[in-house]
Amino acid sequence: MDSEVKNKIVSIEKPQLEAPADWQPVIIGILCNWCSYAGSDLTGTSRIQYPPNIRIIRVPCSSRVDPWFLIKSLQTSADGVLVSGCHPGDCHYITGNYFARRRFLVTKKLLNFVGYHEDRIQFSWVSAAEGPKFAKVVEKVTQDIRKLGPLHLNKKENFNR
């Protein structure tokens, strides 16, 4: 076999184990429309800096978040997921986040059970007035996931979850 082709095949079979130096974590942020999304807006308008690694998706309520969304995010491209909603008792739909809370716990435990690090999936309550808190939360999540490294680097040999 042509040595060039052979090298190519080997490099496909055994991808690089180390993260590239310029690697940046991809974090999906699923925020509720009424509290956390407004909170993140306040962070921006208050000119508070937070890491740009988070990609924000707006949902009507934290109880709109199906565990499927989190699984799909981790399966396709994300290195971590942050879900954020209103504080208990503050839900725009009165009880939405109480229902969400139950699902989050079970999802987190199951993902941990199948070998994903706890910090890959994180949850927070951020109200519309808590701009600085949102910046801190994103800072922490980004740091945690940066420490864990990329999720999709090499699935076969590097259980870097």
Binding site for other proteins (CB under 8 A): 66-68, 71-72, 75-76, 88, 95, 98-99, 101-117, 122-125, 137, 140, 155-156, 159, 161
Closer Cβ to other proteins, 6 or 14, answer by number: 14
Q: How far is the CB of 2 from other proteins (least distance, A)?
A: 29
What is each CA distance from 128 to 16, 38, 96, in whole angstroms?
43, 5, 16
Closer Cβ to other proteins, 17 or 105, answer by number: 105
Q: In the structure encoding, which two tokens stand for residue 7, read together?
A: 């090298």
Distance, CA of 82 to CA of 70 (rounded, Å): 9
Q: How far is the CB of 85 from other proteins (least distance, A)?
A: 9
Closer Cβ to other proteins, 5 or 94, answer by number: 94
Closer Cβ to other proteins, 38 or 83, answer by number: 83
Q: How far is the CB of 144 from other proteins (least distance, A)?
A: 11
Residue pair 82/29 in contact (Cβ under 8 Å)? The answer is yes
108 Cβ contact partners less than 8 Å away, ≥ 6 residues apart: 118, 121, 123
DSSP-based three-state secondary structure for 51 = coil
